[in-house]
């Protein structure tokens, strides 16, 4: 095995004078299957293409981009594993000080809106070479989208980047098909039929079928083959139109029944072909068996390595996709709702490889995917007909066709535990507790607690107020309460002292101050202070972001309360950490504003004490002191009576 070329010297050592594909990445070069650039470059390599990587080039100069020369077929561009704006800024739009995907954890080694900047630079330097964009940043911005950082609707990233093609979702199939077309000499503007891609075109450059549809001449064409979305101009002016466009996009991200989507931008059209069909088990196995080095490029050693490897080096991806349907998650848009899994043999083989790695101490850090306990498709129907357009598998209630079965996943975990070099297998990628609670067989739950938790299990109820949970696409509070009860019952039974660490989101659409206060009361009763609270972060491609921008629920078109001001967000976040001294003023103000003064005082149910030196405070203190003195006097009097009676 060897890293792919990153210098001319590397190319010379392979006897290459030219690349077929140049991959420009916003992340440092980590040759591990948790990184998109590693998978795409390795799968191209496996088909005989010559691929080189330029990682985190200095966009202010030309030298880095030109280091490997002009590629023969195309330049591939990705901002990295995370959207560059999310990578750079917190939910309060403050610059982040660290970047786990950069050597030494240093921040700002990539530009804001990296895909646009890199693509424009590639266009400038390699004028006649096709530029193809992909990864999360490109994928989620393929249509006109609300941009939180600009606080406005931006055009499709295809318009701003001037890229020739956009690969959305998981790109292995599309990139190989595009590579075959390009190697046969097909012009990139003629590649308009590849699933999992989007492109920008003028009407005169469209294929005949698409042009006929636009011109209204599609007499023999099934009506659902194509859907025209409200244009960029419409959605940028009209929030209701934006919500309508988003809901159509959201409903068409399925290979079996998704239509081709068209959105006009001025005199050009963004065209999204239907998604790729789910990968078979054999195809998944092939991807994860490619010859990855499983670590960062050695040139980063002098800077301290790449911190992101620590989370994934000894972890295993067992599957892709998620049918959980969380409103704030973009997986529906990117990986899809249909589970695509690897075989047990493939996973066990990877586990054995991990045991040979330097630094392995016997612990597999994770075996999972977007949701660890989703190893199977939600129902038989999905195998041939795809997902339902008008309902989710788990929300608002579990579908009657949902197949609940942890037995295959449990069998896999048992086999991994039997490998002599492995001491423990953890599950850290998240358990969907509502699905777990639907399982009438407790074997998986019991073995999860006994073998796969290390003192604490992180779970994501996100909130506890049902009207907020409904907007989040999450189960009702009573489901989480039953899960908590059962978790502690099982741990008591097996003689282990283990705890749940709940993950909460503040300021999600639908959450007002009263909901935040109710969540604070729940945290009070748990006797727990969250160390970190995530403010809702509006990112492209999620249903929750659509709610945030439009203040409408696109599923019903009903109004939604959205915390938008910095003050309300700060109050909601502070309420979740009401025990912290620095949050006192915000919590006090929030309780007063919500007329919940009953939670300000000295009682067990109070969140905070009254303001110091206030008249009410002195009265309350005096009352408490008098009550305490009375108790002491009563107690002493009782002692005296007992003494005298002797």
**Which of 125, 27, 34, 135 shows the shortest CA–CA distance to 76?**
135
**Which of 22, 13, 34, 75 shows the shortest CA–CA distance to 354?**
34
> What would the two tokens of residue 175 be?
């990139």
Ligand-binding annotation for 546, yes or no, is no
Dihedral angle computed from the Cα positions of residues 634, 637, 638 and 641, in that order, rounded to the nearest 10 degrees: -160
**What's the half-sphere exposure (Cβ side, CA atoms, 13 Å) at 254?**
21
- Separation of alpha carbons 288 and 310, rounded Å: 19
Cα 251 to Cα 246, 332, 382, 412, distances in angstroms? 9, 9, 15, 33
Count of other CB atoms within 10 angstroms of residue 89: 16
Count of other CB atoms within 10 angstroms of residue 428: 18
**Which of 414, 489, 416, 496 shows the shortest CA–CA distance to 455?**
496
Residue 552: alpha-carbon gap to chain centroid: 22
Element (H, E) at 262: strand 260-265
Helix pair 543-550, 239-251: axis angle to 10 deg? 170
Cα 520 to Cα 5, 523, 586, distances in angstroms? 53, 5, 13
Ligand-binding annotation for 326, yes or no, is yes
Cα 378 to Cα 283, 373, 403, 430, 465, distances in angstroms? 20, 11, 6, 17, 27
Count of other CB atoms within 10 angstroms of residue 391: 12
Residue 510 Rama label (left phi>0; alpha psi -120 to 50; beta):
left
Backbone phi and psi for residue 301, each to the nearest 5 degrees, phi listed first? -60, -40
Cα 442 to Cα 33, 50, 169, 375, distances in angstroms? 33, 51, 35, 17
Ligand-binding annotation for 329, yes or no, is yes
> What would the two tokens of residue 275 be?
């998604």
For residue 276, give the DSSP letter: P
Q: Which residues are annotated as a binding site?
A: 322, 326, 329
Q: Which residues are annotated as a binding site for [4Fe-4S] cluster?
A: 322, 326, 329
């Amino acid at each position: 095995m060897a890293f792919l070329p990153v210098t001319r010297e590397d190319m010379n050592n392979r006897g290459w004078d030219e690349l077929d594909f140049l991959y420009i990445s916003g992340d440092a070069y980590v040759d591990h299957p948790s990184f998109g650039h590693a998978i795409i470059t390795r799968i191209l390599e496996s088909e005989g293409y010559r691929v080189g990587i330029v990682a985190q080039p200095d966009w202010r100069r030309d030298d880095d981009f030109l280091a490997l020369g002009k590629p023969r077929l195309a330049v591939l561009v990705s901002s990295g594993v995370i959207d560059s704006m999310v990578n750079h800024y917190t939910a309060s739009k403050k610059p982040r000080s660290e970047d786990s995907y950069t050597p030494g954890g240093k921040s700002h080694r990539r530009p804001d809106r990296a895909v646009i900047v890199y693509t424009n630079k590639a266009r400038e330097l390699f004028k006649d070479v096709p530029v193809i964009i992909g990864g999360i940043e490109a994928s989620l911005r393929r249509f006109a989208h609300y941009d939180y950082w600009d606080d406005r609707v931006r055009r499709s990233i295809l318009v701003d980047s001037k890229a020739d093609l956009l690969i959305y979702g998981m790109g292995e199939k599309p990139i190989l098909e595009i590579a075959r077309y390009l190697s046969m000499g097909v012009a990139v503007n003629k590649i308009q039929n590849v699933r999992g891609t989007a492109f920008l075109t003028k009407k005169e450059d469209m294929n005949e079928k698409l042009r006929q549809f636009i011109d209204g001449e599609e007499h023999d064409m099934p009506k659902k083959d194509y859907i025209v979305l409200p244009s960029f101009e419409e959605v940028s002016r009209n929030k209701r139109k934006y919500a309508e466009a988003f809901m159509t996009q959201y409903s068409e991200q399925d290979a079996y029944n998704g239509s081709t989507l068209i959105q006009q931008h001025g005199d050009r059209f963004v065209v999204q072909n239907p998604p790729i069909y789910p990968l078979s088990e054999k195809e998944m196995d092939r991807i994860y068996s490619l010859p990855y080095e499983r670590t960062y490029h050695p040139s980063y050693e002098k800077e301290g390595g790449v911190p992101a490897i620590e989370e994934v080096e000894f972890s295993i991806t067992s599957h892709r996709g998620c049918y959980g349907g969380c409103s704030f998650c973009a997986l529906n848009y990117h990986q899809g709702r249909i589970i695509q899994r690897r075989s047990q043999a493939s996973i066990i083989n990877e586990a054995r490889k991990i045991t040979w790695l330097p630094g392995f101490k016997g612990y597999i850090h994770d075996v999972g995917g977007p949701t660890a306990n989703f190893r199977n498709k939600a129902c038989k129907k999905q195998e041939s007909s795809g997902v339902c357009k008008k309902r989710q598998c788990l929300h608002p209630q579990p579908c009657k066709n949902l197949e609940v079965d942890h037995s295959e996943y449990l069998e896999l975990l048992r086999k991994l535990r039997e490998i002599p070099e492995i001491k423990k297998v953890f599950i850290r990628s998240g358990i969907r507790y509502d699905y777990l609670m639907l399982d009438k067989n407790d074997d998986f739950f019991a073995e999860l607690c006994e073998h796969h938790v290390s003192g604490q299990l992180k779970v994501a109820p996100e909130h506890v107020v049902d009207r907020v949970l409904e907007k989040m696409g999450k189960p009702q509070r009573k489901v989480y309460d039953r899960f908590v009860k059962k978790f502690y019952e099982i741990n008591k039974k097996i003689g282990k002292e283990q705890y749940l660490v709940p993950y909460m989101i503040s300021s999600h659409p639908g959450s007002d101050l009263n909901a935040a206060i109710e969540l604070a009361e729940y945290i009070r009763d748990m006797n727990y202070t969250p160390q970190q609270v995530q403010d809702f972060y509006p990112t492209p491609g999620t249903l929750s972001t659509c709610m945030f921008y439009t203040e409408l629920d696109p599923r019903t078109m009903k109004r939604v309360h959205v915390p938008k001001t910095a003050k309300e967000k700060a109050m909601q976040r502070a309420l979740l950490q009401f025990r912290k001294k620095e949050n006192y003023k915000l919590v006090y103000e929030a309780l007063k504003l919500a007329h919940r003064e009953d939670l300000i005082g000295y009682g067990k149910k109070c969140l905070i004490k009254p303001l110091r030196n206030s008249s009410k405070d002195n009265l309350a203190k005096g009352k408490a002191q008098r009550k305490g003195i009375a108790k002491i006097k009563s107690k002493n009097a009782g002692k005296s009576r007992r003494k005298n009676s002797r």
